[in-house]
Structure 1
Amino acid sequence: MGRTIWKQRISNLDLMKRFAEKSADINKKFFKESCDKWAAKERLQMMSTQQLLACPCNLNMARNDGRFFNETTSSPSGKHNNIFCWRTTVEKVGDQQCCYGGTGELLSYAEGGGSTSRFSPTRQPLHYMLQDYWPKIVCDKLANNTSVYLQLRPTDDCSSYVPPKQGARVLCKVFP
C-alpha cells in the first residue's frame, strides 16, 4: 500500500513538472511574439536617434552638462548600485538615458547602460511605460531577445557628444 501512494506522488510530480515546462514554453512563445509585434510596429514609426542629444562620455561631463538630470534615484529602470543614470531634459521627441559605472565610465547596455526612449518617463510617464519600459522588459527579460530591443532603442556610445558652449544659456526643468 505504501509503494502505491509513493508511485502516485512521483507520478503527480512528473505531471506538475511537465505542466510547468509546457507553461514556460507557451509563455516564452507569447513574449517572443509580443516582442516581434512591438518591433514590427516600431519599425514603421522608426524614431531617429540623430535628433537626440548624445550621452556625455563620462559622469563628470554629465554632471556639468545642464541638458541632463540625474535620474538614479527616481528611475523605474531598476539600475543596481554603483550605476548612475542621467537623462536628457530638453528633448521634444524621444529621450536619452545615459548610465555610468562606479568609476564614471559610460556603460554599454550589456553592462547596465541606458537606452533611447520614444517618450520621457518624467513628462509622459504612461506613454513611457507602455511604449518604452514594457517593451524593454518583454523583449530583453521575458523573451530573451535583447538584440531586437537594441536595434530600436540603442545605447549611445558618446561618439557624437558635443558639450554645451562655455557660458551657453541652457534652460532645464528640475525633475523630482
Structure 2
Amino acid sequence: MTDRYKPDFENGNTGLKGRWIFRSERNSNATVNPKMECQSWYSKQPDPVHWTYKLGSCPCGYDQGKQDVKFSPFNNTVSWNGQAITGNYSDKFICIRTTLENIYGAGLQCCYREDLSLIEGFYDVQISSFMLQHQPSDSEGYSTYLNEDVIPRYYCCDASMDQSFCDMYIEKRPIGKCDGYIPPKTGMS
C-alpha cells in the first residue's frame, strides 16, 4: 500500500506541490464576456447631457412620425462583420430616425409595434427606441454607430442577460419616449 499515488505530494501543472488547474469551460481566446464588454464601454461614455441637446422626443404613434419631416424611415437591418444581425421580429415592427443629427452628430431612433404604438427602450438589438450618440450618415459614421451604439446595446441588454447591465446602457443612451412630443402643425391657418 505504500505505492499509492498521492497527488498532493507531486508538483502539479502550476509548478506548486499538490496544485493542479483544469479548465471547466470551453472558452477560446475569441470568447467575449458581454458583461465585461458592457462595463468597459460604459466607463468610456460621456454623460448624455453633453450630446442630447435638442434631440426632442419620439412621436407617440407611427402615424404621427410618418407625417413629421423631422423623422424618416430607415432600413433597420444592421450588419456586423459582413453578416446581418437579425432580431426576434418580422415585418411587424417599423422604426424611424431623426432626419438630421443635432450639432453633436446625435440622433433619435423610435420603433413601433404592429399596432403602431411606440416601443419605449429595449425590445431587441435592432428594434429599440433610444437616443443615439452617433447617428449614421455615411460609412464612417455607420461604423462608429455600430461600435458605439448597437454593439454595446447587444452586450449590455441582450447577451449579458442581466437587467442591471441594460440599465447601464440606458444611463448612457437614454430611452426614446414620447413625453413632450409636439406633432407638426398641418393644414392651413
Question: Normalising by the residue count of structure 2, what TM-score does the alignment of the two structures yield?
Answer: 0.66
Ranges of 4+ aligned residues in structure 1 off by more than 6 Å: none
Partner amino acid, structure 2, of 1:150: I
Q: What is the CA-CA distance between 1:126 and the residue it aligns to?
A: 1.4
Structure (1 or 2) with the greater strand fraction: 2
Q: Is the 8 A contact 1:106 1:113 kept in 2?
A: no
Residues 1:66 and 2:69 aligned together = yes
**1:62-94: per-residue Cα shift (whole Å, max 9, x none)?**
1100111111x3542745221110000122331
The aligned counterpart of 1:51 is 54
- Kindly provide the amino acid, as one letter, of the partner of residue 34 in structure 2: F
User: More helix by proportion, 1 or 2?
Assistant: 1
**Which sections of structure 1, spanning at least 5 residues, go unmatched?**
1-16, 168-176
Given residue 89 of structure 1, which amino acid in structure 2 is its aligned partner?
T
Written as runs of structure 1 = structure 2, the 5 A alignment for 1:19-58 is: 19-20=25-26, 23=27, 30-43=33-46, 47-58=50-61
> C-alpha separation between the residues in 2 aligned to 1:53 and 1:45?
13
Give structure 2 stretches of 5+ with no counterpart: 1-22, 79-84
Which structure has more RCO (C-alpha within 8 Å, separation ≥ 6)?
1
| Distance in 2 of aligned mates of 1:46 and 1:37 | 20
1:94-131 C-alpha deviation (Å, 9 max, x unpaired): 11110011111001224443211111123411111111
Tell me, yes or no, if the aligned pair for 2:48 and 2:172 is still in contact at 8 Å: no
Q: Aligned AA for 1:109?
A: G
Tell me the TM-score normalised to structure 1 length: 0.71
Partner of residue 85, structure 1: 95
Larger Cα Rg: Structure 1 or Structure 2?
A: 2
In structure 2, relative to structure 1, the CA distance for the partners of 1:45 and 1:62 (3 Å cut) is closer
Aligned identity (percent) is 24
Please, what is the CA RMSD of the aligned residues?
2.9
Q: How far apart, CA to CA, are the structure 2 residues paired with 1:57 and 1:140?
A: 23
Query: Which whole-Å CA distance do the structure 1 matches of 2:98 and 2:72 have between them?
Result: 6
